[in-house]
Amino acid sequence: MSDSGDDAAWVPYKERPEWGDVTPVKEDDGSNPVVVIAYSEKLLQLTKDAVELNPANYTVWQYRRDILKALGGDLMSELDYMEAVIKQSPKNYQDPSRELELTGDALLHDPKNYHAWQHRQWAMKTFGLLTDDVRNNSAWNQRYFIVNNHLGWSDINVQKEICYTLEKIKFIKNNESAWNYLRGVLLHDKRGLSGNAVVTSFCEELYKNKCRSSYLLAFLIDICDEALKKGENNSLHNCNRAMELCAALANKYDKIRSKYWNYISTKFIKYQTESESNKNGADKLIE
């Protein structure tokens, strides 16, 4: 159980002189407060042994994190320690959230900390979260995390990310992760979902070339919706187009969600009736 793996060298805590002042408490879950009362290097050492007994025990790791914070301990060496434990017992480590929490803590203090970034990348690769697979949703989320917390959403970065994403969509059109990322990036574009000409002409080009991915059609519906709300509807993006697209999804391209697309369609019907009655009202006023 000791670090060296040499069981003969293991000295139980009750036989260690420096632990003479601690009264052991029988396992009763009531022993936990002993661990939280005062943080010390000693306790950090204790959690290390607890981790080795059962690395899957979430609470022990949380205590370590609390102790480290209270002591102002070195998060980087903790990351190295985690890495070592994971390498020893990969089977017990299905949960990458601890790694991501700790690197998140470290990056909050020092966004340019190379070691933390490197460790984050390592953890993501180890847990299979980060691959070159464009369908990997977590890889897209990691990309979002980096731009959001590290590079920032300047106009040029927004454009760069849009171009990157459109390239990937061109390659695999039916990849929801990439379409969702595109929506995420456009949240940072002042012109919104419908106002970026590069995006709208890319989508219309795909549509013209017979692409009928449900993500493309759904995106076009949302462009119509936003254009209508802004009063910027045009020959391509309007109520009728949106309803046509809803019908195509409900009846042909996305049948599992047919009820949903019919529901979305009714919203456009309502919108159309409302705008017509407004128009009639306006006409009457003119008369």
Partner 1 sequence: MNFEENKDLAHRQHVKYFMRFLNVLPSSLAAHDSTRMTIAYFSVAGLDVLGAISTVSLDMRSRIIEWIYRLQVHPNKDRCESDMRFVYCAACISYMLHDWSGFDIDKTTDFIINSILESHGGTTFCALASLSLMNQMHKLTEAQVEGLKRWLMYRQVDGFQGRPNKPVDTCYSFWVGASLKILDTLKFTNYGSNRRYVYDTQDTVVGGFSKWPDTCTDPMHTYLGLAGLSLIGENGLLEIEPRLNITKRAYEHLKTLHRSWDNQS
Active-site residue, 91 included: yes
Told to check if 30 binds partner 1 by CB under 8 A, we report: yes
Could you tell me the CA-to-CA distances from 126 to 63, 179, 236 in Å, in that order? 24, 26, 46
- CA-nearest of 124, 43, 201 to 220 is 201
Instruction: Choose, from 48, 69, 87, 91, the residue flagged as catalytic.
Output: 91
Task: For the CB of residue 157, give the shortest distance to partner 1 in the complex, in Å.
Answer: 16
Selected range binding partner 1 among 155-163, 241-249, 256-264, 275-283, rule: CB under 8 A: 256-264
Distance of CA 165 to the CA centre of its chain: 16
One residue of 59, 88, 154, 280 binding partner 1 per CB under 8 A: 59
Q: Is 263 in the site for partner 1 (CB under 8 A)?
A: yes
The answer to whether 132 contacts partner 1 (rule: CB under 8 A) is no
Going by C-beta distance under 8 Å and a sequence separation of 6 or more, which residues neighbour residue 176?
Answer: 137, 215
Taking CB under 8 A as the criterion, the residue among 113, 121, 126, 141 binding partner 1 is 141
Among 2, 32, 118, 154, binds partner 1 (CB under 8 A): 32
Q: What is the DSSP string of 184-210?
A: HHHTT-TTTTTS-HHHHHHHHHHHHTT
H-helix or E-strand containing 140?
Answer: helix 137-146
The contact set with partner 1 (CB under 8 A) reads 28-30, 32-33, 36, 54, 56-59, 62, 66, 92, 135-138, 141, 144, 148, 175-177, 180, 183, 218, 256-260, 263
